[in-house]
Amino acid sequence: MSYLDSILSEEQRSLRDMVREFAQKEVKPVCREMEKSGDIPWDLVKKAQDMGLHMLNMPEKYGGMGMDYLTYAILREELCKGDAGFASIVMGFSFAPVEIAGNEKQKEMVGEIIQNGGFTTFALTEATSGSDAAAIRTRAVRDGDDYILNGAKCFISLAPIADIHVVFAVTDPEAKGKGVTAFLVPKGTPGLTIGQPEDKMGMRISPVAAMYFDDVRIPAEYRLGEEGAGFKYAMKILNKSRPSTGAGAVGIAQAALDEAVAYAKERSVYGHPIKDYEGISFMLADMEIMVQTARQMTWNVCQLADRGISDRNLSAISKCYSSDVAMKVTTDAVQIFGGYGYMKEYPVEKLMRDAKIFQIFEGTNQIQRITISRELFR
């Protein structure tokens, strides 16, 4: 038994082993093939939903499993070891936006959509306001009992398949960050157009697209929370999601380390396995140090969250460090494979491509470092 097994409960180990088997035996081989076309393996998505993986941390009151943060992170790591794009489809933002900002009716509505296998988006990013979320330009103007939305979003995960979108728009241009409001926008709403899926570098089976709003009329009852509080809600949602994003990055890093260790045992140079050479063995040791450290950092933040302690600084550190580790470890895995690592026939180049986005989405790592450095001087 590893030290990880010894500190997990029997239930956590059982759930982890179930997701690990599913991820390694079914998700990994299928998604590796389907990423060439970018098609979604719907049969596997349905199976994951039948396992309840799409509503792990949704409260039981709304049909979910009400899972704690730590166990959720453990399972997110395992599914990302299989395929990070698949994990983003099944274990995306899901219920978090309405849990933080929604009223009872909205929570019941979105909870029912997710229970029935539906998907949600988190439509914040725009072409001119990626990391600077407060600079969004999409407008929402009150018109009687409705709001009318105009503008565009870009790089929105799951936009082509989502049943309902959480959209952030400016209701008071003079108030800047305090003038942003969040809305629920159902798919098929007149005036809403979803762009073609982007041709991405990594996580290719997870669809990402632009969204366009042309006089999209939304009832005021679909506004999430208070008018002008959208930016505050967005930051709370991201703060809540970043540790699980870190867990996903750890999953990619662990997968790359496992592949590199296996290859180093098999590949021989000058009559010896390359693991016997310090140039390789020390690289692997450093990769192990980084993966274990990132995992413990992520688990620590999740355990604090389970105690009701939400720390924006630690959340940023968890996401930033884990994603940097994923990029470093996957790059080193490619190096250990040598020329084979550069070929798509071998698995590590895909892991390197998948890892990159973790340094970018949910706030670039440069933005995370701004958050962390500001905390030092408060």
Q: Tens digit of pLDDT per residue, the chain (378 long)?
A: 577 778 889 999 999 999 999 999 999 999 999 998 889 999 999 999 999 999 999 999 999 999 999 999 999 999 999 999 999 999 976 788 899 999 999 999 999 999 999 999 999 999 988 667 668 999 999 999 999 999 999 999 999 999 999 999 999 998 877 899 999 999 999 999 999 999 999 999 999 999 999 999 999 999 999 999 999 999 888 888 889 999 999 999 999 999 999 999 999 889 999 999 999 999 999 999 999 999 999 999 999 999 998 888 999 999 999 999 999 999 999 999 999 999 999 999 999 999 999 999 988 999 999 999 999 998
At 347 the pLDDT is 95
What is the structure's pLDDT at 132?
Answer: 73
Helix, strand, coil % (nearest 5) of the chain?
60, 15, 25
Query: Which stretches of 187-342 are assigned E, i.e. beta strand?
Result: 192-194, 208-219, 223-224, 268-269, 272-273
**Which residue blocks in 51-138 are alpha helix, DSSP H?**
69-82, 84-90, 96-101, 104-115
Q: How far is CA 159 from the centre of its chain?
A: 14
Chain position carrying tokens 């991201």: 238
pTM: 0.94
H/E run at residue 186: strand 180-186
In this structure, the chain runs to a length of: 378
Give pLDDT, residue 133: 66
Beta-sheet pairing, 139-143 with 223-224? unpaired
Q: List, in sequence order, every residue forming a beta bridge with 147; answer none if it has no partner.
A: 142, 218
Annotated catalytic, 198? no
Domains of the chain, with CATH numbers? 3-115 (1.10.540.10), 120-228 (2.40.110.10), 232-376 (1.20.140.10)
Q: Which of 174, 227, 362, 375 is catalytic?
A: 362
Q: State phi, psi for 179 to the nearest 5 degrees.
A: -110, 15
What does the angle CA 17 – CA 349 – CA 270 come to, to the nearest 5 degrees?
A: 100
* CA distance linking residue 148 with residue 138, whole number of Å: 10
